[in-house]
Structure 1
């Protein structure tokens, strides 16, 4: 029996050895044993390759501004494990997490003795989340991120108020498929009969899959640049400025402190979602709530300026599309800077393309590694790069300390790659 918070975390993390086991049978088994807490959760369900966390953050902040209590389920974490299950942006307490682990542990052991097998780490955390928001601390609404995919994702046992698919890109291809159509099919698996879906997917072949799935499910699809739009986009010193028009209202000159054109799309998704909840579910959301929610939303580890002297930015760009968005944002806001990159990544990513894209705009690029089961070594990464000013280091802490002591006003230090790595860097720099 788990007795302490540390024991709870150890028990959860030990299940990483089970890897990823797609399918919903184990989740359905645990929910049945718990009395189906997921059926009491009013949810907005978010899938997509990138932008899930930012879209969730925008929507959560809008709903909070409107006076609602909002639960969220996200992954991975940046500062502490508990933040994966949060209320109004505040992670649940250690005592609450311990209680949840004590509730789920005996079920996990019992499930492991059946033909279904042991639940994975993500299934355990998802079960804890549903039990918490369905039985322990019921919220006005819960915004839930998928882990990966959608169709067989552990979270996909809910029947939400609304579904959101942010975008489609090449990530987790060994599980989701090699083509955009295949990946889109998995993401579109969150679309439920009669439940509308909002999407910013752009590629015609991926969008067609989502349209077909929505039509089969008789689910209304709201598509960016067809049914709602972001316009008047203009970079500003503190972030981005833009306007959003939905079928229900117009919101001119919104401002966000999250940097990048991709964040404008994420914000537009959240505004469209809020407008839908207001129009069809009688949520009392005013324009002022949307405006202040977009402005106040902040998502850790996403183009986050950690230091001004030296100028140091961290960004969890962990796949090809994320790297491309990062590069575009740097070029928009810091075109005059000499960019020095520190990069660490997992081995199951398209490393060649990611590294080449980064190298094309870097004054220098340094590769490193970190303590994680699937982390690439610094040498592995360096060998994939042809930049004339490349290096590798096993001691990234020393590299960061040195850069903080030796810099010019023209330097921008950009630390990017795996979100798991960014979490470690952020802790180190903040301390």
Structure 2
């Protein structure tokens, strides 16, 4: 029996991660055994290679600005497991995690005994906990982030009010496919018949796949750059400014603390999804709530300035698409001073391509490092990674111990310089804890 929070986590994390054959049948059976809690959740569903977390954060703040209680389901967590199921941005309590695990445990045991492939996976269990919790009425609306892909993701049992596809890029190709149209097909699997879908900046070929699926399912589609637009006004004093326009709304001088042109695109997706939701539920939109919600949005680990003197920034750019966006931001908004970029990347990512791309930043030094990956997943070895680089750039070096690297680089920073710590979200989580305890670590 599971009697403590730690035992609950050990049980959840001890489950299998994947099954050989992707299917939603096991998840549907699991939820039906629990009384189909997903059918009692008022949701917006968010898929995409990058931008899911930020889009969700903007949406949460938009709804909170009008007084709604907002549930969220996100992954992975940055500091503590409980963050994955949150209310108004605060992870649920240890007691709730224990209660939910205890309540669904008998059903898991039953499915373990009855199903030939075994019972639910780790992610299916956490998803079921989320649906069960929010079906109890803890939030007015729930923002659900896809774990991986879309079509066979365990969250995809939900029939949401609005679906959002933020971006299509290269990630998890061994599971989702080796071309962008194949990846787009998996992500577009969240589109449900008649449910409006909002789509971000997607290249023409994968976009064609998404549009075709939306047409087949008679789902109204709104595409960034076509049906609604964002005009980026650039960054000033760590505030990004932009305008939003659609057929019904013209919003000027919106401000966000999330830095980068790509963040204004995520904000625009959130605004459009927010508008669609209100039109569906026949409620009017108060523009002041949009301004307030966008300005209030924060998202830990996304170009997050964690220290001002010296300037230290954290960003979980964990795939090649995200690195490309970071490179654009650094070149457009931070041409002054020197940028020290400390990278810790999982070995199963396109690590060499990520470093080669980052090394194109003119005023930067790249320092590769190592960290403890989650479970059996390993971090890329810094020296081996350095030797694999195509261009053999001169501005790349390696320091094995990431804590030593932070201490060393921190001492080098001049007033106009920046230390950017980036790569795997697991690495960012470790670095964030270390830096928040900086008084202890830097004495």
Instruction: Please report the TM-score for the alignment, with normalisation by the length of structure 2.
Output: 0.94
For 2:401, the equivalent position in structure 1 comes to 395
For 2:98, the equivalent position in structure 1 comes to 98
Distance 1:283 1:2, change over 3 A: farther
Q: CA deviation at 1:387?
A: 2.6
Distance 1:273 1:315, change over 3 A: same
* Residue 79 in structure 1 maps to residue 72 in structure 2: no
Distance 1:315 1:111, change over 3 A: same
The 10-residue stretch of structure 1 (30-39 or 380-389) with the greater mean CA deviation from structure 2? 380-389
* Residue 366 in structure 1 maps to residue 367 in structure 2: yes
Q: CA deviation at 1:139?
A: 1.9
State which of 416, 421, 428 in structure 2 corresponds to 1:415: 421
* Residue 404 in structure 1 maps to residue 404 in structure 2: no
Give the root-mean-square deviation of aligned CA atoms. 1.6
Q: CA deviation at 1:251?
A: 1.1
- The 5 A counterparts of 1:246-285 are 246-285=246-285
For 1:355, the equivalent position in structure 2 comes to 355
Contact 2:17–2:123 (CA under 8 A) maintained in structure 1? no
Separation in structure 2 between the aligned mates of residue 246 and residue 389 of structure 1, nearest angstrom: 44
Q: CA deviation at 1:106?
A: 2.4
Distance 1:74 1:21, change over 3 A: farther
Q: CA deviation at 1:17?
A: 5.4
2:248 is paired with a residue whose SS is coil
* Residue 54 in structure 1 maps to residue 48 in structure 2: no
For residues 89-131 of structure 1, what are the alpha-carbon distances to aligned partners after superposition, in whole Å with 9 as ceiling and x for unaligned? Answer: 1110110111111122222222222114232211111011011
Contact 2:340–2:409 (CA under 8 A) maintained in structure 1? no
Q: CA deviation at 1:341?
A: 1.4
* Residue 219 in structure 1 maps to residue 219 in structure 2: yes
Q: CA deviation at 1:363?
A: 3.4
Separation in structure 1 between the aligned mates of residue 347 and residue 143 of structure 2, nearest angstrom: 30
Contact 1:235–1:332 (CA under 8 A) maintained in structure 2? no
* Residue 293 in structure 1 maps to residue 297 in structure 2: no
Q: CA deviation at 1:284?
A: 4.9
Distance 1:370 1:39, change over 3 A: same
Q: CA deviation at 1:355?
A: 0.9
Separation in structure 1 between the aligned mates of residue 25 and residue 432 of structure 2, nearest angstrom: 37
For 1:134, the equivalent position in structure 2 comes to 135
Separation in structure 1 between the aligned mates of residue 356 and residue 244 of structure 2, nearest angstrom: 34
For residues 202-253 of structure 1, what are the alpha-carbon distances to aligned partners after superposition, in whole Å with 9 as ceiling and x for unaligned? Answer: 2111111011000000100011111111125332222211111123222111
2:131 is paired with a residue whose SS is helix
For 1:377, the equivalent position in structure 2 comes to 381
Separation in structure 1 between the aligned mates of residue 21 and residue 354 of structure 2, nearest angstrom: 27
Separation in structure 2 between the aligned mates of residue 342 and residue 110 of structure 1, nearest angstrom: 47
Distance 1:34 1:17, change over 3 A: closer
Contact 1:365–1:387 (CA under 8 A) maintained in structure 2? no
* Residue 189 in structure 1 maps to residue 195 in structure 2: no
Q: CA deviation at 1:331?
A: 1.6
Separation in structure 1 between the aligned mates of residue 18 and residue 108 of structure 2, nearest angstrom: 13
- The 5 A counterparts of 1:143-154 are 143-154=143-154
For 2:121, the equivalent position in structure 1 comes to 120
Separation in structure 1 between the aligned mates of residue 171 and residue 358 of structure 2, nearest angstrom: 17
Distance 1:363 1:277, change over 3 A: closer
1:104 is paired with a residue whose SS is helix
Q: CA deviation at 1:348?
A: 2.0
**Number of aligned positions between the proteins:** 430
Separation in structure 2 between the aligned mates of residue 112 and residue 344 of structure 1, nearest angstrom: 37
Separation in structure 2 between the aligned mates of residue 348 and residue 423 of structure 1, nearest angstrom: 18
Q: CA deviation at 1:407?
A: 2.5
Separation in structure 1 between the aligned mates of residue 426 and residue 16 of structure 2, nearest angstrom: 14
Separation in structure 2 between the aligned mates of residue 340 and residue 20 of structure 1, nearest angstrom: 42
For residues 153-209 of structure 1, what are the alpha-carbon distances to aligned partners after superposition, in whole Å with 9 as ceiling and x for unaligned? Answer: 000001110000001001111100011110000011000000010001321111110
Distance 1:383 1:422, change over 3 A: same
| Structure 2, unpaired ranges of 5+ | 438-443
Instruction: Please report the TM-score for the alignment, with normalisation by the length of structure 1.
Output: 0.96
Q: CA deviation at 1:408?
A: 1.8
| Structure 1, unpaired ranges of 5+ | none
